[in-house]
């Protein structure tokens, strides 16, 4: 499901920009307590897999930009953060609770959904990410 949302720089970003990579589509809000710790965990994951075809796209649900800016100042991340100010995208993706992370394969097909917070540094989780990345790299190497 394609979408276009405002990013923190005031520009627009589309989900399709991240196609051909494994995408962690992460829905969060600043009022959601587990979301704070999970943001740091996602940043660590992002850094561990730098240079690999993995994208993290965080989508803030229904909050004003200054509030998200303040949150990110305290919880800095290197991946894009988009603003779903009227919940349109969260609804389209049937997000029922925050945080929710949907892992998309390189064709933007959901392959895993995590409702609730996830320790992205957990060996089992990391192994799953590596498995998805390996599949993706294998697919790319196929003639």
Partner 1 sequence: MTTRRQFLSTMAALSAASTLPQSAFAQASAPVFAPRPGSWRNFQLVTRLEIAAADGRAQAWVPLPSLTESEWIRPGGNEWTTNAGSAEVRRDDKYGAQFLHVEWAAGEKAPVVEVTSRFASRDRAVDLAKPGNAPALSEAERRLYTEGTDLIPVDGIVKETAGRITTGKTTDIDKARAIYEWVVDNTFRNAATRGCGIGDIAAMLKTGNLGGKCADLNALYVGLARAAGLPARDVYGLRVAPSRFGYKSLGAGSEIVTKAQHCRAEVHLSGHGWVPVDPADVRKVVLEEPPGKLAIDDAKVVAARHALFGAWEGNWLGYNAAHDLTLPGAKGPKLEFLMYPQAETAAGRLDCLDPDTFKYTIRAKELTAA
Judged by the rule CB under 8 A, the positions of this chain that interact with partner 1 are 29-31, 33, 62, 64-67, 70, 85-87, 96-98, 115-116
Closest to 73 measured CA to CA, from 30, 102, 111, 114: 30
When the beta carbons of 64 and 127 are compared against partner 1, the nearer one is 64
Closest approach of partner 1 to the CB of residue 11, in Å: 14
Alpha carbon 117 to chain centroid, angstroms = 12
- From the CB of 84, what's the least distance to partner 1, in Å? 9
Nearest approach in angstroms of CB 125 to partner 1 is 19
Cis peptide before 66 (omega within 30 of 0): no
Is the Cβ of residue 115 or residue 126 nearer to partner 1 in the bound state? 115
Closest by CA position to 136, among listed 44, 52, 17:
52
Joined tokens for residue 56:
């993290």
Question: Cβ closer to partner 1: 7 or 16?
Answer: 7
């Amino acid at each position: 499901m394609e979408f276009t949302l405002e990013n923190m720089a005031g520009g627009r970003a589309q989900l399709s920009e991240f196609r051909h990579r494994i995408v962690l589509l992460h829905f969060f809000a600043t009022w959601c307590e587990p979301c704070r710790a999970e943001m740091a965990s996602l940043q660590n994951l992002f850094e561990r897999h730098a240079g690999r075809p993995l994208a993290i796209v965080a989508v803030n649900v229904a909050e004003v930009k200054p509030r998200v800016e303040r949150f990110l100042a305290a919880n800095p991340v290197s991946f894009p953060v988009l603003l779903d100010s009227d919940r349109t995208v969260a609804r389209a993706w049937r997000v029922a609770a925050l945080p929710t992370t949907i892992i998309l394969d390189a064709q933007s097909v959901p392959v895993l959904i995590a409702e609730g917070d996830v320790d992205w540094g957990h060996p089992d989780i990391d192994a799953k990410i590596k498995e998805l990345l390996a599949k993706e790299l294998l697919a790319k190497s196929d003639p």
